[in-house]
Amino acid sequence: MMFKIYTRCLSCLLFSLVFIQANAAIKPLAKSEVVIPFGKDGKINYNLKTGTFNVYQNGQGIFSNIYSAAKVNADTISSKDYQVRKYTKLFIQNGFGKGFKHTILLTAKGLPQMKQVFYTYTGKNYFLTEVSFTGTSLKTNYMAPVNGQFGTVKGDDVRTLFVPFDNDTFISYNSKSFSNNNGISAEVGTVFSNQSRAGIVAGSVEHEVWKTGVDMEAAQQLNQIKVWGGYTAEAVTRDKIAHGTIGGNTITSPKIFVGYFNDWRTGMEEYGSANRIAEPPYVFNWYKPTPVGWNSWGVIQEKITYDKAIKVANFFADSIPAFRTGNTAYIDLDSYWDKLVSHGDYSQLKQFADYCKSKGLEPGVYWAPFTDWGHKGGPDRKVDGSDYTFGDLWTKIGDGYNDIDGARAIDATHPGTQKRVAYIIGKLKSCGFKMIKIDFLGHASVEANKFYDPKVTTGMQAYRKGMEYLVDQLGSQMLIYAAISPSMATGRYVHMRRIACDAFKTIGHTQYTLNSVSYGWWQSNLYNFIDADHVVFNDETMGANRARMLSALVTGTWLSGDDFAVNGQWTARVKKYYQDAELLKLVKNGKAFRPVEGNTGTGASEIFTQKIGDSFYMAVVNYGKDSKAFDISAQRLGIDLSKVIATKELLQDNAIDTKGGLQFKLDGADAVLYKFTLKK
């Protein structure tokens, strides 16, 4: 114990020495320093002599000795390599509000001109930063605006979060104890105390050119941070080769979001919102109600037929007519809808869509636009709607191709791909579909030897071109819903995105889904909606059914996946829960709940909360097999029990004791949803 106390005190002393400037901030600064204020009480102290900067918030040093670096042509160049640095400030106003663009211009003989740029905005407790170089015929595939150190995060149980690049291969978020070997997080990273909730958040808000890596490592004295564009790793970004190279007389990094927050959850929500501002949606905005409905992949899958699809539509129309938002629900045919198409004749598919509309339902469909599932049939197969072959379209990588999930990636910039997209989407639009689930989008973002479009040199540039073309073809007829896809880059192109893939009915599936909600709920600020995949009751226990359904409500939307063409034990349960007025009222809000705890590794938080008007909701899931007694701190939860005037459990009428806290018992593999009505 004495050793632990001594070590902690020594660490505090070293931290204080490094950030001594924070305590002397009220003294006049040297002429070599520029002070850039941001937010309520943040400031960046940039040293014009060294090319480094320190960041302070809440009167404390947060980051120190931060510099920018890049590989330019054959050289690695940093902001510390220059001799002359000049500062300018320009008023700006954009989606972030009113603010200033602060530019440090760096020059030196024999080096390209360098700029470090900081963007600060009124009321934003974070800043954005980027780095650029100007010269002649510059090339790079590595640009790191943020390299340096950061101090101790206040509080115990310090964690760092691995954020996946996409939602494929059953990948999970991972909240790990902060150490010196954490691994790299994709696009955004955070280090926070689960006890105090204080934490730092840093990540890219631009995804049209770069894939971004965030590396945060613990050290004996000061922790290390690096945020850079140019990150690839096959297990994370699905790339088998290095990041593509950008070139030109000016080369620019992604913009990086940086901030320290009293609650890391607020920081992640701010980060999600900043992405939507920095890269506004290319797709039209969705003002209609929260989507609810059904998708065929939950149970029926490849066994879909016209007759089964019609029976499902009848079930929704006749047996659960109250399961609606905005007087409609979506009936969505997933993969294998082409069984309703014969030799290019789409008339039966149109007949299905027309039937859904006659029943007051919205027809939905599915497609994977950037994949070749039949690649084993050879390269000479003709591409739909064109004279090209699939071999012409395959994305070349090294000496081979990129086969992911059993499908081969095709070049999103190729005219054959575009003709195929135009042909298929044209057919689906003519059928009258009102929703489309697009899948395996990550195939369009992989790095390649080259792309058909010579102006496209990185996977994310190819993704942008492919997705923009797809959205242009779709127009404004359909709700666009992404399944497997890059988490951040897809925000510009779709209204709704699946938070985790291929989870259906078991308590394990529920936990997997809620892992992604526990650490990715903030994507509600990037998309109109995030989705928990297909809720399947099937042959599971009532408790597992409740938990799976609750995972959808906690995520913010509600899509079923049971086989409603036949009767089963799920039929009566669906009729009960899917028409519950309280649950439908909740899902109309359309936003994900917040996790209460963030220390579950690759598991999930048990408790999620959301306040809507004068109602405070608490969702609780017991993932274990045995019953469990819960005793939850109201303060930790964020609710003042003295203001509660009514309490109701919405799933099974489970009793709760609110005297001095929140106590209740929950069976294994089960869930509860409490609604607390508050004084206005």
Architecture of the domain whose range is 596-678: Sandwich (2.60)
Portions of the chain given CATH number 2.70.98.10: 2-278
| Predicted pLDDT at 661 | 86
Residue appearing with tokens 């102290």: 45
Decide if pLDDT at 141 tops 70: yes
Pairwise CA distance, residues 284 & 56, whole Å: 39
Pairwise CA distance, residues 543 & 547, whole Å: 6
Pairwise CA distance, residues 669 & 680, whole Å: 35
Lowest mean per-residue pLDDT among 4-18, 201-215, 414-428, 530-544: 4-18
Tell me the mean pLDDT in the region 626-646: 95
Q: pLDDT tens digits, residue range 76-120?
A: 999 999 999 999 999 999 999 999 999 999 999 999 999 999 999
Instruction: Supply the DSSP string of 250-313, one letter for each residue.
Output: EEEPPPEEEEEESSHHHHHHHHHHHHHHHS--SSPP--SPPPEEEETTTTTGGG--HHHHHHHH
Q: pLDDT tens digits, residue range 16-29?
A: 333 333 333 333 44
Task: Give the angle 236-510-370 at the CA atoms, nearest 5°.
Answer: 40
Tell me the mean pLDDT in the region 24-53: 83
Token pair of 148, please? 């340096």
Instruction: Supply the DSSP string of 299-359, one letter for each residue.
Output: TTGGG--HHHHHHHHHIIIII-TT--BTTB-EEE--TTGGGG-BTTB-HHHHHHHHHHHHT
One-letter amino acid at 315 equals F
Topology of domain 2-278, CATH: Beta-galactosidase; Chain A, domain 5 (2.70.98)
> 425-431, long-range: CB within 8 Å, 24+ apart, which pairs?
425/367, 425/470, 425/473, 425/474, 426/473, 427/346, 428/365, 428/367, 429/474, 429/475, 429/477, 429/478, 430/346, 430/350, 431/346, 431/349, 431/350, 431/353, 431/363, 431/365
Helix 542-555 / helix 569-577 crossing angle, nearest 10 deg: 40
**Summary count for the chain: helices (H), strands (E):** 14, 39
| Predicted pLDDT at 152 | 87
| Predicted pLDDT at 610 | 97
Neighbours of 501 (CB within 10 A): 20
Computed over every residue of the chain, the mean pLDDT equals 94
Tell me the mean pLDDT in the region 304-331: 97
Pairwise CA distance, residues 111 & 205, whole Å: 28
| Predicted pLDDT at 11 | 37
pTM metric for this prediction: 0.94
Decide if pLDDT at 10 tops 80: no
- The DSSP code for 657 is B
Torsion sign across C-alpha atoms 131, 136, 142, 148: negative
**Residue 377 pLDDT class (50, 70, 90 cuts):** very high
Neighbours of 576 (CB within 10 A): 10
Tell me the mean pLDDT in the region 182-202: 96
| Predicted pLDDT at 30 | 54
Residues whose CB falls within 8 Å of the CB of residue 169, separated by 6 or more in sequence, listed in order:
405
End-to-end CA distance of the chain: 49
Neighbours of 179 (CB within 10 A): 11
Pairwise CA distance, residues 523 & 271, whole Å: 9
Q: pLDDT tens digits, residue range 233-287?
A: 999 999 999 999 999 999 999 999 999 999 999 999 999 999 999 999 999 999 9
Q: pLDDT tens digits, residue range 436-449?
A: 999 999 999 999 99
Q: Where are the beta strands (DSSP E) in 575-652?
A: 594-595, 607-612, 615-622, 628-632, 644-649
- Bridge partners, 366 (sequence order): 437
| Predicted pLDDT at 7 | 36
Residues whose CB falls within 8 Å of the CB of residue 585, separated by 6 or more in sequence, listed in order:
none
Tell me the mean pLDDT in the region 297-310: 97
**Residue 407 pLDDT class (50, 70, 90 cuts):** very high
Residue 653 main-chain phi, psi, to 5 deg: 55, 45
> 26-30, long-range: CB within 8 Å, 24+ apart, which pairs?
none
Neighbouring C-alpha atoms within 13 Å toward the C-beta of 633: 6
Decide if pLDDT at 478 tops 80: yes
Tell me the mean pLDDT in the region 375-390: 97
Helix 415-431 / helix 459-474 crossing angle, nearest 10 deg: 30
- Cβ 106 vs Cβ 98: under 8 Å: no
One-letter amino acid at 182 equals N
Portions of the chain given CATH number 2.60.40.1180: 596-678
Neighbours of 345 (CB within 10 A): 10
Q: pLDDT tens digits, residue range 550-581?
A: 999 999 999 999 999 999 999 999 999 999 99
Pairwise CA distance, residues 135 & 127, whole Å: 27
Q: Would you tell me which CATH number, out of the four given (3.20.20.70, 3.40.50.2300, 3.90.1150.10, 3.40.1160.10), belongs to the domain 292-594?
A: 3.20.20.70
One-letter amino acid at 491 equals G
Find the helix or strand (DSSP H, E) in which 242 lies. none
| Predicted pLDDT at 165 | 97
Residues whose CB falls within 8 Å of the CB of residue 150, separated by 6 or more in sequence, listed in order:
62, 63, 64, 191, 200, 216, 222, 223, 224, 225
Token pair of 508, please? 């394990």
Decide if pLDDT at 175 tops 50: yes
Radius of gyration of the chain (CA): 26
Portions of the chain given CATH number 3.20.20.70: 292-594
For a pLDDT cut of 70, what percent of the chain falls above it?
A: 96
